[in-house]
Amino acid sequence: MVIARLSNERDPGDPATVTARIISGKEVASRIHAEVSAGVEEYREKYDGVPGLSVVLIGDDPASHSYVKGKELACEMVGIKTETIRRDASTTQAELLGIVEGLNRDPQVHGILVQLPLPKHLDESTVIHAIDPMKDVDGLHPENAGLLLLGRPRFAPATPLGVQRMLVEENVNMNGARVVIVGRSKLVGMPLAALLLQKGPGANSTVTVCHTGTKDIAAETKRADVLIAAAGFPGTVTVDMVKPGAVVIDVGVSRVDDPSRKRGYRLTGDVDFESVSEVASAITPVPGGVGPMTIAMLLVNVLRAANLAATNQDHNRKTDEIPLE
C-alpha cells in the first residue's frame, strides 16, 4: 500500500537546514487541548455528564507529584472531572488493588491512571493487570499492549502518542523514515516502536530500538532520519551520534542539581541540546517539548474512554464476543 504524502511534508534527514527548528510541544499541546475541550462539550451535550479520570498516586516521589499536578490542571482546563487518590508509601498491595477495584466499578470513572513508578514493595504488573482494560488510559494493560502490537490500538500510552502527533504536526514524512529509538521501556520505547511500525499515516517507518545490549549505539543513531532519545539519562545523545539534518525528539526528563535556581535543580533531557541543535533539522526542547504532549494525549485517551463507554462501540470487543479477561 502506498501512503499518500501530504503536500507540505518534509523528508527527515534532509540537511538543508543548519540550525534546528525548535518543535514546541507546548504549542501543539494547546491545539490538542482545544480539540479535547470541544469533544468534552459534545460529550456533555450528548450524555449529560462529563468524562472522568482518577489518578492513583502512592508515595512521595517529588517528580511524580509534580507530573500528577500537571495532569490535574490540564483536566480542569478542558472540563474533564478528575480526582487524585493519594496514599503514603506504606500502602499495601491489597489496599492498592482494593482502590483499583473500586474505580473499576465506578461508572463515573472512565479512565484510571496509577502513577509509576510505584514504591518497590508493590508489584506494578499485578496492579496494571487489575485495571479494567476499557479504563486503562495509560495503555499498559496486557490487553491494550497486545492490541497495539496487533495493529488494532484501543489505548496507546500517552507519551508515544504525543511523540507521533508532534512528528505529524511538524510535517515529518514518517513513511519509510529510518527511526532509531534509544530506550525500550514499557511506557515509551516499546509502544512507540509498535506505533511507528504500523501501516498508516504518521507511521510505516523502519524502526530500530537500541538498549543496554546494543553493541554500538552511535552506529545505529547515526543512520537515523528521526532519532528519539528515551533512555532517561542526560548525555545519552551527543552531537557525534546524530546525522546532519535528522529530526531529534528528546523524551528524557531528569532533574539535575543547579544551585543557581531557586528550587535547586533544573530539568534536562537525554540529548545534548546545545550541540545537537547545530546539526539537527528540528529538535524538541526539555522542558516544553514532549512533556506537554504526554499530558495532552492522556486527555485524548480519557475522552476516548468516556465515548467508548457511552457508545459501547469498541471494535475490539463486540458485545456478542466473550470478553478477553
Just list the catalytic residues: 71, 115, 138
266-295 binders of ligand GUN (CB under 6 A)? 294
135-194 binders of ligand GUN (CB under 6 A)? 138, 158-159, 187
Total site size for ligand GUN, rule CB under 6 A: 10
8-47 binders of ligand GUN (CB under 6 A)? none
Measured from the CB of residue 301, what is the shortest distance to ligand GUN in angstroms? Answer: 10
Measured from the CB of residue 110, what is the shortest distance to ligand GUN in angstroms? Answer: 16
Measured from the CB of residue 292, what is the shortest distance to ligand GUN in angstroms? Answer: 13
Measured from the CB of residue 295, what is the shortest distance to ligand GUN in angstroms? Answer: 9
97-116 binders of ligand GUN (CB under 6 A)? 113-116
Residues 6+ apart with CB under 8 A from 8: 171
Given the complex with ligand GUN, which of 12 and 291 has the nearer CB atom?
Answer: 291
Measured from the CB of residue 88, what is the shortest distance to ligand GUN in angstroms? Answer: 18
CA 292 to chain centre: 10
Is residue 224 near ligand GUN by the rule CB under 6 A?
Answer: no
Q: What is the 3-state secondary structure (H, E, C) of the chain?
A: CCCCCCCCCECCCCCCCCCCEECCHHHHHHHHHHHHHHHHHHHHHHHCCCCEEEEEEECCCHHHHHHHHHHHHHHHHHCCEEEEEEECCCCCHHHHHHHHHHHHHCCCCCEEEECCCCCCCCCHHHHHHHCCHHHECCCCCHHHHHHHHCCCCCCCCHHHHHHHHHHHHCCECCCCCEEEEECCCCCCHHHHHHHHHCCCCCCCCEEEEECCCCCCHHHHHCCCCEEEECCCCCCCECHHHCCCCCEEEECCCEEEECCCCCCCEEEECCECHHHHCCCCCEECCCCCCHHHHHHHHHHHHHHHHHHHHHHCCCCCCCCCCCCCC
Measured from the CB of residue 225, what is the shortest distance to ligand GUN in angstroms? Answer: 26
Given the complex with ligand GUN, which of 157 and 245 has the nearer CB atom?
Answer: 157
Q: Is 66 exposed, middle or buried (0-12, 13-18, 19+ CB in 10 A)?
A: exposed
> Nearest-CB residue to ligand GUN?
116
Given the complex with ligand GUN, which of 198 and 301 has the nearer CB atom?
Answer: 301
Given the complex with ligand GUN, which of 159 and 277 has the nearer CB atom?
Answer: 159
114-133 binders of ligand GUN (CB under 6 A)? 114-116
x-or-dash pattern for ligand GUN, window 42-71, by CB under 6 A?
A: -------------------------x----
| Residues in touch with ligand GUN (CB under 6 A) | 67, 113-116, 138, 158-159, 187, 294
